[in-house]
Structure 1
Amino acid sequence: MKHLFRTVFFISLWSPLLRAQPAPAPPDYQNHAQLSARLKALASRSDNAAAVESIGKSLSGNDIWVLTLGRGKATAKPALAIVAGIDGSHLAGTEMAVELAEKLLSSTSDSIRRVLDTKTIYVIPLVSPDAQAQAFAKLRFERTGNARDTDDDRDGHLNEDPFDDLNRDGQITQVRVEDPTGQYVPSKDDARVLVKADPAKGETGRYVLVSEGTDTDKDGQHNEDGEGGVAIDKNFTFDYPFFTPGSGEMPVSEPENRALLDFLAKSPNIYAVLTFGPYNNLSEAPRFDRAKTTKRIITGLLEKDATVGEQVSKLYNAQTSLKDAPAMPATKGNFAQTAYYHHGRFSFSTPGWWAPKTTAATPARRDSSATAKPTPPATATAAKGGDDNEDVRFLKWADANGLTNVYVNWTPIDHPDFPNRRAEVGGLVPFARQNPPVRFLADNVQKHVQFVTALAGRMPRIEIVNVRSESLGSGLHRVTAQVVNRGLLPTGSELGDRVRWVPKMKVELKLADKQSVVSGRRIMLRGPMAAGETMDVTFLVSGSGRVTLEAGNAMTGVQQQEINLK
């Protein structure tokens, strides 16, 4: 009888998984198939101003698309790359990247038309489609890993301890368990949010906080080895987090990472990268730290690049007017830093949207409502008050805007790992905090259109001026000219000149038959030119007819000036 009772108990516990109903997907966001159709339709009606192609496939075989915007030959013009969907839980970035492309193509603004005529914009909206697919699955949870089976807890088994839907709502939140050894207490600003107890304020912990599920493999950890293998934004080369769950066996081990880095390496015209993701170096630019630049491995912006970062940050804040950005430091092995430190491009990153602070008075919720974000307890919010706590801020904003279904009320359950203790399931629903209903993104998209247009307008612009040819007799001619950077940004990053992944600035005098350079270097290579910097060039040429002076590189565009030898 005891054996029969135990069997019935576990059947009743696990039957929610069998009866779970799919939770609604985040409002109005699109799955990979819908996104693919949207991009193809956008290209087909663009009047030859856009083209879409696959740059690779995910582990599950989903295409990773690039939408190329601009008129004329794309590879012959300086370019910006806009990248999103590297973190699979950040659906808003993917949506904003596509909406930004749509607005650029449909605009009648002279400044935007000029950008599309003189620049190329590559939009890669979804680098990690396998992870993002979890937002539209029957069981929804915030997933950053791709489809690779992994052994995150190093016990010799793959994916053996996944999430469990204990309250049968089709989504994974959290479990709080009353325990005198717990570290968490309800926030005084909103009891739906759990924060770490602060002993300095006389607080003692009340709850243990774990992800929703059970300890399937009985190793004392919950859901540490489930679906969602390698997190793409942990698998890039800069500051790679070795031996960290989710980072993979080695840098760039995944086809998604390789597709993106191969595209970057094969596109020397990309001047800068803008990433939509959960890292922000635009609202506040990283500061120059000499100690980080004098080591064998550079881990900080070089001084001239830090100055550019401050300039672009001011431009971003002026164009978007977005205030009160939460702290979003860079994670190890992410793309935005790899694009700068290892590929030498200026690299900027922003989430694009965050819950704004609201001044509307919202009474603190009682403890019957929902709580913290659906992430493992190791990353749960520390003890911060009011709008300094991102979950409190988001819930206050959601309340002010009448949003429902953004959190789950605490529901008591019988949890087999915590017998005879009060355990409850609840918390912010997956994807809610970073991904508002799509209608709330429109204003921010327009602000980022303004920023991208302004940034493109400040990119380096090479001109050849004050050209002069002087006859010296006996078939000799002195040719002089000045090459000037008319843009408001340098022709490349200072670090790019060191890593050698970006082309040098090149000045070349092209000759015809029976012409030769007697004095001066016919081809000159140099590092970046600062904004407004001028370079004087002189050649002593033997011969007659015409010569052509070229200056620039793939990231600036190459300018030509024909010169008659008089």
Structure 2
Amino acid sequence: MLVSWLTADAILAQTPTTSYINHAQLTTRLRALTGRHGGLSSLQSVGKSRSGKDIWLLTIGRGPAAGKPAVAVVAGVDGTHLAGTELAVQTAEKLLAAANQDSVARLLDSKTFYFFPSINPDAQEQFSARPRYERSGNGADTDDDRDGRNNEDPFEDLNRDGLITQVRVEDPTGTFIPSKEDPRVLVKADPAKGETGRYIVITEGIDNDKDGSFNEDGAGGIALDKNFTFDYPFFTPGSGEMPVSEPENRALLDFLYKAPNVYAVLTFGPYNNLSEAPKFDRAKTTKRIITGLLEKDATVGDQVSKLYNGQTGLKDAPAMPATRGNFAQTAYYHYGRFSFSTPGWWLPKTDNTAGTPRDTTRREPARNAGAGTPSTNEEVRYLKWAAANNISDAFVNWTPIEHPDFPGRKAEVGGIAPFAKLNPPVTLLNESADKHVRFLTALARQMPVIDIVNVRTESLSGGLTRVTAQVINRGLMPTGTEIGDRVRFVPKMKVELKTGNGQSVVSGRRMVLRGPMAAGESMEVSFLVNGTGRAILEAGNAMTGTKTVDVTLR
């Protein structure tokens, strides 16, 4: 429970804004946060977006940040996922608000937390712009339809409500019909059930370039979560001309690759490998290009998944597979770190007949148990949940319009409001942020801790001393990923006897490099040293922190 956190700062941190914030408001909020907690946090811009907006990095911890093991928290890579940015900021606020609590204070002494709350600010800004539409692409000008012109076929707000939704046009060749569960929702007609299509459905706008496609080349260029290096989707609209072509994800990767102390990455985004960990699949790990978790890493993934579910209590997560070229997978397969991703919030299951939401995270008995099952249609479920929670702006009612591309035909504008399904009202994220602070701090406490024990020195003839010791990982997680050995960029575990003047190691390797040590694993090292005086035995690496002990040579 977080009751002990309710200091004045904690109360401030638990008072969320009433709506999702734009980049200027994010900047103000982050600066105010570092102003209140200057000794524990710092704010820096690691780069600029295509339109010149800062890519902010909020660093949290006490003392030199680069000298301690770190967790990187990344959000806003997918521009449609505003909830991730809000959760990242609230998590940072709540972590700092609890800094005086002993357990959190010790954590901030020993760990660093890097928060990147908004990697794609150009796309996220579309929530505050008019017209509002869901946008994954940054501010790059692109020729998505390859006709030699940029941004010539954008959305148009045909009903002038400031939102871009859908247009349905009655047509005998249409493939959509109203859902029997909720007639506002359109579903594919099933001829096997005797259903005949009634509508064609397009995005709200007109065919400006008269190529038969609607709104296929508007503002919003490269989708950053398709532009990373792992499984990059060549020749896919929105993926860019080449991997990491954009300044936003270059800024993120440039920082990470220069930060060897990052042990794990947590991404808030529309991909979930935390509620249910990916399973080990040997066939995916024996190919020339590895596309599945290595066996030891899959075991850790399962461990962390159980930790996540236990700490957050979140259940009934929808299937949210990874897209090609996304950040979270690049962080594992190419950066070589443990990489965990969650949307942080998802639609709770609802009772399909009662119309009342059943929040499975609270472990309350289901109302009208046995009266019905949740709908399999995501939009129907969302609208039922929105109605139960008095969210009045979730849906734009179908409104007749005169569409210039369909003269004399019945056309209507409407549909679920942009950004609505992935992003609940901000006030509903406060509890989720509390849960993710619990998970983040629990994860950090399970990270490896290196210790050196049973140090012994034995004087031998000829001025020699035999030094033996055991190095142990006292943490609950290994010192690194199994994939890290394949990547070869990830720091190795190092055990080194640092000698001084007149000292030399005459038998045994002065420096021992090895792959990851499992939780609780120990190893023995032995050195035969010539000389007298003080030497230093050091073990660890940037991701685990280092442990040193003094050794007296006799």
Same fold (TM over 0.5): yes
The residue type equivalent to 1:35 in the other structure is L
> Counterpart in 2 of 1:136?
128
Output the CA distance in 1 between the equivalents of 2:480 and 2:125: 37
Shift of 1:308: 0.8
Q: Which residue of 2 aligns with 1:20?
A: none
What displacement does 1:117 show? 1.0
Contact 1:213–1:222, Cα closer than 8 Å, also in 2: yes
1:498-543, Cα deviation, whole Å (9 max, x unpaired): 1112111111000010001111000011111111111110000111
Q: Which runs of 5 or more structure 1 residues have no equivalent in the other structure?
A: 1-25, 365-384
C-alpha contact 1:215 1:222 (8 A) present in aligned 2: yes
Q: Which residue of 2 aligns with 1:515?
A: 503
1:54 matched to 2:45: yes
Q: In structure 2, what is the equivalent of residue 498 of structure 1?
A: 486
Please say if 1:229 is aligned against 2:217. no
**How far did 1:252 drift?**
0.7
Q: Which residue of 2 aligns with 1:205?
A: 197
Q: Is structure 2 residue 324 aligned with structure 1 residue 336? A: no
Correspondence 1:76 to 2:67: yes
**Which of the numbers 389, 392, 407 marks the counterpart of 2:395?**
407
8 A contact 2:349–2:374 mirrored in 1: no
Q: Distance in 1 between matches of 2:150 and 2:493?
A: 50
TM superposition shift of 1:301: 0.7
1:519-538 aligned at under 5 Å gives the runs: 519-538=507-526
Give 1:54 shift: 0.5
1:149 paired residue number: 141
**Aligned 8 A contact 1:84 1:275 in 2:** yes
| TM-score (structure 2 length as normaliser) | 0.92
Which of 241, 258, 269 is the matching residue for 1:249?
A: 241
Q: Secondary structure at the match of 2:538?
A: strand
- Please tell me whether residue 446 in structure 1 is matched to residue 434 in structure 2: yes
In structure 2, the partner of 1:276 is 268
Cα distance in 1 for partners of 2:102, 2:192 equals 58
Match of 2:254 in 1: 262
- 1:453 deviates by 0.7
Q: Residue 455 of structure 2 aligns with which residue?
A: 467
Shift of 1:150: 0.5
> Residue 446 of structure 1: CA displacement?
0.3
Q: How far is 1:195 from its partner?
A: 2.0
Q: Which amino acid aligns with 1:236?
A: F
Deviation, structure 1 residue 200 = 3.9
- Aligned partner letter, 1:291: A
Give 1:379-394 correspondences, 5 Å limit: 386-394=374-382
Secondary structure of the 2:45 match is strand
Contact 2:355/2:388 (CA < 8 Å) preserved in 1? no
Q: 1:36 aligns with which of 22, 27, 32?
A: 27
Q: Which aligned pairs between 1:167-182 and structure 2 lie closer than 5 A?
A: 167-182=159-174
Deviations 1:32-65 (A, max 9, x none): 1111111111112114100000000001110000
State the distance in 1 between where 2:300 and 2:198 align.
Answer: 48
1:551 matches 2:542: no
> Structure 2 stretches of 5 or more lacking a match?
1-16, 357-372
Structural RMSD (CA): 1.5
Query: Is 1:487 aligned to 2:475, yes or no?
Result: yes
Distance in 2 separating the partners of 1:204 and 1:555:
60
| C-alpha separation in 2, matches of 1:200 and 1:554 | 61
Equivalent residues of 1:183, 1:204 under 8 A apart:
yes
Say which is worse superposed, 278-287 or 352-361, in terms of deviation: 352-361
Shift of 1:204: 3.0
Structure-1 residue corresponding to 2:343: 351
Offset, 1:132: 0.7
Deviation at 1:431, TM superposition (A): 0.9
- Identify the residue that residue 187 of structure 2 maps to in structure 1: 195
SS in 2 for 1:514: coil
Taking the aligned partners of 1:116 and 1:74, their CA distance within structure 2 comes to 10
SS of the equivalent of 2:309 reads helix
Aligned counterpart for 2:150 among listed residues 150, 158, 162: 158
Q: Matched residues in 2 for 1:558 and 1:259: separation? A: 28
Q: Which amino acid in structure 1 is aligned with residue 378 of structure 2? A: E
Which of 307, 311, 319 aligns to 2:303? It is 311
Residues 363 and 557 of structure 1: is their aligned pair in 2 closer, same or farther, counting only changes over 3 Å?
Answer: closer
**Match of 1:539?**
527
Aligned residue in 2 for 1:22? none
| Letter in structure 2 aligned against 1:178 | E
Name the CA distance, whole Å, in 1 between partners of 2:393 and 2:525.
66
Distance in 1 (CA, whole Å) between partners of 2:354 and 2:215 is 35
Counterpart of 1:94 in structure 2 is 85
**Percent of aligned pairs sharing the same letter:** 70
- The residue type paired with residue 35 of structure 2 is S
Task: Look up the match of 2:57.
Answer: 66
Structure 1's 69 and 422: CA in aligned 2 closer, same or farther, altered over 3 A?
A: same
Provide the C-alpha distance between the structure 2 equivalents of 1:388 and 1:540, rounded to a whole number of angstroms: 69
Residue 443 of structure 2 corresponds to: 455
Q: Distance in 2 between matches of 1:275 and 1:170?
A: 31
Q: Counterpart in 1 of 2:101?
A: 109
- Checking the alignment, whether the CA contact within 8 Å between 1:237 and 1:251 is kept in structure 2 is yes
Q: Which residue of 2 aligns with 1:324?
A: 316
- Bigger shift: 88-97 or 197-206? 197-206
Give the Cα separation in 2 of the matches to 1:169 and 1:251. 37
Mapped contact 1:51–1:67 kept (Cα < 8 A) = yes
- Measured after TM superposition, the shift of residue 79 of structure 1 is 0.2
- Note closer, same or farther for the CA distance 1:466–1:278 as it changes in structure 2 (3 Å cut): same
Using the TM superposition, name which of 394-403 and 200-209 deviates more: 200-209
1:27 CA displacement: 4.5
1:562 aligns with 2:550: yes
Q: CA separation in 2, counterparts of 1:337 and 1:320?
A: 23
Deviation at 1:90, TM superposition (A): 1.0
- Count of equivalent residues: 521
Report the CA distance between 1:545 and its aligned residue: 1.0
SS in 2 for 1:153: coil
Find the counterpart in structure 2 of residue 426 from structure 1. Answer: 414
Tell me the amino acid that sits aligned with residue 313 of structure 1.
Answer: S
Task: Please give the per-residue CA displacement for 1:430-486, whole angstroms capped at 9, x wherever unaligned.
Answer: 111111111100000000000001100000111011111111122111100011111
Deviation for aligned residue 1:113: 1.7
The aligned residue for residue 4 of structure 1 is: none
Q: Secondary structure at the match of 2:298?
A: helix
Report if the CA contact (8 A) 1:179-1:206 is conserved: yes
Do the aligned residues in 1 keep the contact of 2:352 with 2:375 (CA within 8 Å)? no
**How far 1:73 sits from its partner (Å)?**
0.7
Letter in 1 for 2:32: A
Any conservation in 2 of the 1:326–1:390 contact (CA below 8 Å)? no
CA distance in 2, matches of 1:161, 1:250: 24
SS of aligned partner of 1:209: strand
Q: What residue identity is the alignment partner of 1:87?
A: D
How far is the alpha carbon of 1:388 from its aligned partner? 2.9
Amino acid of the structure 2 residue aligned with 1:102: E
Assess if the C-alpha contact under 8 Å between 1:386 and 1:392 holds in 2. no
CA distance in 1, matches of 2:254, 2:475: 28
Q: Given residue 257 of structure 1, which amino acid in structure 2 is its aligned partner?
A: N
**Aligned equivalents of 2:141, 2:467: Cα separation in 1:** 64
Q: Does 1:298 pair with 2:290?
A: yes
* Residues in 2 aligned to 1:487 and 1:529: alpha-carbon distance in whole angstroms: 10
Residue 363 of structure 2 aligns with which residue? Answer: none
